[in-house]
Amino acid sequence: MGPGGISPWSLLLILVIVLLLFGTKKLRNVGSDLGGALKGFKSAMSDGEKQAKEAKDSLEQEDSESSTQNAHRESVDEKDTADKKSDGS
């Protein structure tokens, strides 16, 4: 017994019947179509991963620039506050 309770002889008989019904040319075309579909799927997945990585990198860069700008603003604000306190004394 093979997988699912199907014997190897039964699988061979099914293969022979499929070959007789469809012929080798049609089966070859179906195989190449299936291979092309899988290749397209894989390339779409890799493109999606690249876009996700680029978006993540872009967000990280924006966050870095934003935090740098915030730190600069805080230092300017602290300096202004210190100047105001020294002027008011």
**Cα 68 from Cα 73, distance rounded (Å):** 9
**Cα 48 from Cα 26, distance rounded (Å):** 33
Tell me the whole-structure pTM to 2 decimals: 0.45
Give which of 59, 75, 5, 79 is closest to 87, Cα–Cα. Answer: 79
Task: Report, in angstroms and rounded to the nearest whole number, the Rg of the chain calculated over CA atoms.
Answer: 33
The predicted pLDDT at position 73 comes to 73
DSSP string, 23-83: HHHHHHHHHHHHHHHHHHHHHHHHHHHHHHHHHHHHHHHHHHHHHHHHHHHHHHHHHHHHH
Q: What is the per-residue pLDDT across 10-66, written as a single tens digit (0 to 9) for each?
A: 989 998 998 899 888 888 898 899 999 999 999 999 998 999 898 888 888 877 777
